[in-house]
Amino acid sequence: MKISLIRKRLGLALAGALALGSASGAVQAQQVAPAPEKPAYEKVVLDANVLFAFDQSLLTAAGRNTLDGFIGRIQGIGSGTMTAIGYADRLGTDDYNQALSERRVASVKAYLISKGVEPIWMVRSSARGESQPTTKTGECAGDTSARTIACLQPDRHVFVELSGSRIQR
């Protein structure tokens, strides 16, 4: 009994609203605005050891391709902070490796700038030299043999991280 009374009252209310809404009897549709796009936080990381050859700070062709892929992945991120950290292997003096890792991170930063990345994000960079190797102690025994140099390749890299917002559609 209560349900039929509620339906009756709703029906009368709806009929009254329709009659008031249009003098000609036609129903007018209301435009509903689309939901606003909202930014979502995103972190994109690149840590590749193909960027540099032994004792070099110039990007290899594979390194440029890897950075191009990273640049493609960060497209659409409107603002944020980018951090780049350079590393070197253990061969050479501490001072030399520190300077080498600084040149490596500068090469990556210059490449990113040449591709238009710098104006969009604040890029912070630093260098760690040989102080934080990827390889484990004793993993690459020996001095400057070709085998040791190849084994230490993972230590010659630049880590890049972008944290920012991308509009979700």
Which domains are seen in the chain, by residue range?
38-168 (3.30.1330.60)
User: Do the beta carbons of residue 80 and residue 162 sit within 8 Å?
Assistant: yes
Which pLDDT belongs to residue 34? 66
Which pLDDT belongs to residue 4? 52
pTM (2 d.p.): 0.67
User: Do the beta carbons of residue 103 and residue 143 sit within 8 Å?
Assistant: no
Q: Which range (18-27, 32-41, 56-65) has the least confidence? A: 18-27
Q: Which of 18-22, 24-28, 51-55, 115-119 holds the top average pLDDT?
A: 51-55
User: Do the beta carbons of residue 84 and residue 105 sit within 8 Å?
Assistant: yes
Rounded to 10 degrees, the C-alpha dihedral 62/68/73/76 comes to 170
pLDDT score of 65 more than 50: yes
User: Whole-number mean pLDDT of the chain?
Assistant: 74
pLDDT score of 55 more than 60: yes
Q: What is the mean pLDDT of residues 21-36?
A: 56
Q: What is the mean pLDDT of residues 72-99?
A: 83
Q: Do β-strands 122-127 and 158-168 pair in parallel, antiparallel, or remain unpaired?
A: unpaired
Please name which of 141, 61, 52 lies closest in space to residue 97, comparing C-alpha atoms. 52
Instruction: Give the separation between CA 48 and CA 91, rounded to whole angstroms.
Output: 19
Please name which of 89, 81, 86 lies closest in space to residue 158, comparing C-alpha atoms. 86
